[in-house]
Chain A
Amino acid sequence: MSDTILECRNVTKSFFGVPVLRNVSLTLKAGRVLGIVGENGAGKSTLMNILGGVLRADSGSIRLGGRNHAPQNPAEAFRDGIAFIHQELNLFTNLSVAENMFIAAFPKTRIVRLPLIRRREIREKTRALLASVDLHVSAESLVEDLSPGERQMVEIAKALGAEARIIILDEPTTSLSSRETQRLFSILQRLRGQGISMIYISHNLGDVLRLCDDILILRDGRVVGEGPKEEFTLERMISLMVGRSMDQLYPSRSARPSGEIVLEVKSLSEPGILENIAFQLYKGEILGISGLMGSGRTELARILFGLDAFERGEILLNGEPLKRCSPHKRIHRGMAFLTEDRRVEGLLMNASVEDNIALVSLPSFARALPGLVNRPEMLRAAGRAAKAVRLQCSSLSRQTAKTLSGGNQQKVVLAKWLLEKPSVFVLDEPTRGIDVGAKFEVYRIMDELAAEGAGILFISSEIEELMGMCDRILVMAYGEIRGCMARTQFDKEKIFRDALMENLLP
């Protein structure tokens, strides 16, 4: 019925003798959205990097619109009509929207032999492109002033401007609010109607089912399932991805919270950010915080952990007030914090895994005098922590954090806190960007920690996982707590309504 626009046949690729893609074939038809899912390391990004000209296949053929496609670099793939929108957007934040659109090929005019950019032309064209994705920002505004969702739209507009026939989207929704995600989807659906094909990669299987026409599942570099989406259910996708059937997405909670308060927040306020936040976290409890991007949940976490200051209110950790803004002191008093951005704030990417795990608890391994670190003991402890989180890596001392998969990186971040035996964990999006199998392991670690008596503050934008893991859920919007419900009252719709309070504002 519709024409095939992209066809891969038996694409194979290995790194240092380790096969990453084995005979992968796929077909993309004009005006359809193909969802590609798989665990981290299944080969999704390698495949996309080959299509996008970042890598070259060892063998196999790729035909784009009936012609052989073997781009030598990303720019060439882009010219051939494949636009690759990476998870970390490829925009220059210090340039204007219009400049970003035409960065690879500015239209020029020569004045006294000086090739000047046709400013008006790129402005006009940009304005038209922005209108086609319903983005109402000036073509002259700097990208750094735009929100993540707006930047995503700029990328798509840029792809349209280059008359891309295929748009590859890699985890496009991780930094978007749910409203921005809605908008992205409606734009993508409209583009599909105009005959543009898309490849959509995401760990969020619900989104994939919602948006895509066809689904392709990769495991260990092989295609293990493909077909129109009607043939798939969430459960079937997961079992294909993981290679076994997962009877449940969340571990059953092994213990109930006790009545002892470990963290209490009283009328916490910071002008412009938080207003009158109050809650209690009990020993052994997992307390969820739901809210949209920009609802103040991350800011709350940072204030609790002493990374940012607050003006009024009180934070009591194990009954004692926390005053000064100092993560070092908080850790000393028994608090742990897992940041939403593990690349920037979670890990020393170029340091070894063991150096990462040992970082938090270094002072505890220092002998009082002369302050030297007891390295053998520290390394043994790091090894134990790695084992506790079931970290998979070839060498704790030689492998750097950068070389681990997302899921294993997150385990390293968790492992480094375990050595200090904190009583309160503040986890900000602990499962972001990691695959189904690793997610389950993170949940299991959370359950174990709670069972051992820690209080866990679990911040997430995925309501399902909050409902799956938490004892109670708080809903935040505009820097306030707008609702609180216990496990028996969990109601997805009510959480949505509370989070979207803006509708009720005048």
Chain B
Amino acid sequence: MTTRKGNIVLFVLNNAPLILFAAVFGGFATLSPKFLAVENLVNILIQSASIGIVATGMTFVLLTAGIDLSVGSIMFLSAAAAGKLIAGGQPISLAFAVAIAIGVGYGAINAFFITRLKILPFIVTLSTQFAGRGLSLLITQTRAMNLPRLVEVGSSKILGMPAPVWLFGAVVVFAHVVLMKTAFGRHIYAIGNDAEGAKKAGINTTRVVFLVYVVSGLCAAMGGLVYLSRLGLVSPKLGLQREFAAIAAAVLGGTSLFGGRGKVLPGTFLGAALIQTVESGLVFIKASEYVYPLVTSFVIFFAVFVDSLRHVKLQQLKRRRIRVAATG
């Protein structure tokens, strides 16, 4: 009897992100039935694409028990470089390629300091965050850049779906396959579980951790480009504090900050969508702009709280097994 009740509680806690997502969705739908219109749903997807892609890269890093605080600056730097090239008359494809290369290079610099010089990821990416933002401001001369031409790219459609949504989907699916089905992916989980043990087991941990930060840099650059092509604007605040949003999206989706636990699909995808749904919903019900951070942060807090509750509950259930065998 008690076990059945326990099971229900556990089911709810285990699927908290999904249930929370449904609740938020349902809440806004009742407040404004038009919220469920296909057009609006697609809109939410488009808007969550940028941060969702960045969060996917962040998930790789968090899985190794690392952190990447520089993603906001990578978004800014790659978007600024692309914007500068396009404004200078270069073809969009070249600009995008350069931006991607910048993301990869940036990630490789982080990775070099972390794996070769053995400095804490927190400190390394904090420093490169400063440096990257400074560099981007230098490139843009702290002025905003308008690139209306890019919005066409951002809003172009393939098979009826906007390009950013396709890219978002492709990144998430590809990342999921890499994490779940390749040796590289499984090694990431192993390192997050026990880095020392992974080395002993013959995993080239230096290489894996290196690549993880490169992946994060790559994803951040893509996220920056998606953002750029949606708004057609490089402002000095681009990417500011987006590292926190990316971490929040990953954690909302069930990724642990201590490594070894978490998934991109549905986890991080859902997390990013949830954050965006809250914001879009608030726009939809015409809430004051000042209220956004209040509601968003409350939803994240609540989700983290539920996750902690789940841990405590699981521990309890694990403990209560001694007499089950005797009576059952």
Interface residues of A (CB under 8 A from B): 54, 73-76, 78-79, 90-95, 99, 103-106, 108, 114-117, 119, 271-275, 294-296, 299, 308, 478-480, 502, 505
Contacts and interface: CB of A to CB of B under 8 A. Distances in A.
Contacts of B182: 108, 114-117
B181 to A, nearest CB: 5
B260 A94 contact: yes
Contacts of B2: 271
Contact of B190 (A76, A95, A108): A95
Interface in B162-210: 177-178, 181-183, 186-187, 189-190, 192-194, 197-198, 200-203
22 contacts: A73-B202, A75-B201, A75-B202, A90-B194, A90-B200, A93-B193, A94-B193, A95-B193, A99-B186, A103-B203, A104-B201, A104-B202, A104-B203, A115-B183, A116-B181, A117-B181, A272-B319, A272-B322, A273-B320, A274-B322, A274-B323, A299-B319
A275 B323 contact: yes
Nearest to B260: A94
Nearest to B316: A272
A273 B322 CA distance: 5
B322 A479 contact: yes
Contacts of B192: 94
B201 A103 contact: yes
A352 B319 CA distance: 33
Interface in B292-328: 319-326
A505 B183 contact: no
Contact of B183 (A93, A117, A275, A480): A117
Given A73-B202, A90-B197, A106 B326 contact: no
B261 interface: yes
A94 B258 CA distance: 12
B183 A106 contact: yes
Contacts of A54: 200
Contact of B202 (A74, A92, A93): A74
A93 B261 CA distance: 10
Contact of A78 (B186, B197, B202): B202
B323 to A, nearest CB: 5
Majority secondary structure, B binding face: helix
Contact of A273 (B178, B183, B319): B319
Contacts of A75: 200-202
A59 to B, nearest CB: 25
Contacts of B181: 116-117, 119
Contact of A299 (B193, B322, B325, B326): B322
Nearest to B317: A272
Interface size band for B: 20 to 34
Contact of A272 (B186, B197, B200, B323): B323
Contacts of A91: 197
A294 B319 CA distance: 10
Contacts of B201: 74-75, 90, 103-104
B321 to A, nearest CB: 7
A147 B51 CA distance: 40
Which interface residue of B181, B201, B325 has the most chain A CB atoms within 10 A? B201
A478 B327 CA distance: 9
Contact of B326 (A103, A271, A479): A479
Contact of A95 (B178, B186, B319, B322): B186
A382 to B, nearest CB: 32
Nearest to B185: A117
Nearest to B178: A114
A16 B287 CA distance: 69
A41 B260 CA distance: 34
Contacts of B178: 114
Given A73-B200, A478-B326, 5 more contacts: A103-B190, A108-B182, A108-B183, A272-B321, A272-B323
A158 B260 CA distance: 21
Interface in B247-269: 260-261
Contacts of A275: 323
A104 B197 CA distance: 11
A502 B325 CA distance: 9
B284 to A, nearest CB: 39
A105 B202 CA distance: 9
Contacts of A299: 319, 322
Contacts of A294: 321-322
A91 B198 CA distance: 9
Contact of A478 (B194, B203, B323): B323
Contacts of B200: 54, 73-75, 90
Contact of A103 (B187, B261, B322, B323): B187
Contact of B322 (A104, A108, A295, A308): A295
A94 B261 contact: yes
A116 B181 CA distance: 5
Contacts of A76: 202
Contacts of B325: 478, 502
Contact of B189 (A74, A92, A106, A478): A92
A116 B186 CA distance: 11
Contacts of A480: 326
A92 B177 CA distance: 20
Nearest to B259: A94
Contact of A92 (B194, B319, B323): B194
Nearest to B190: A92
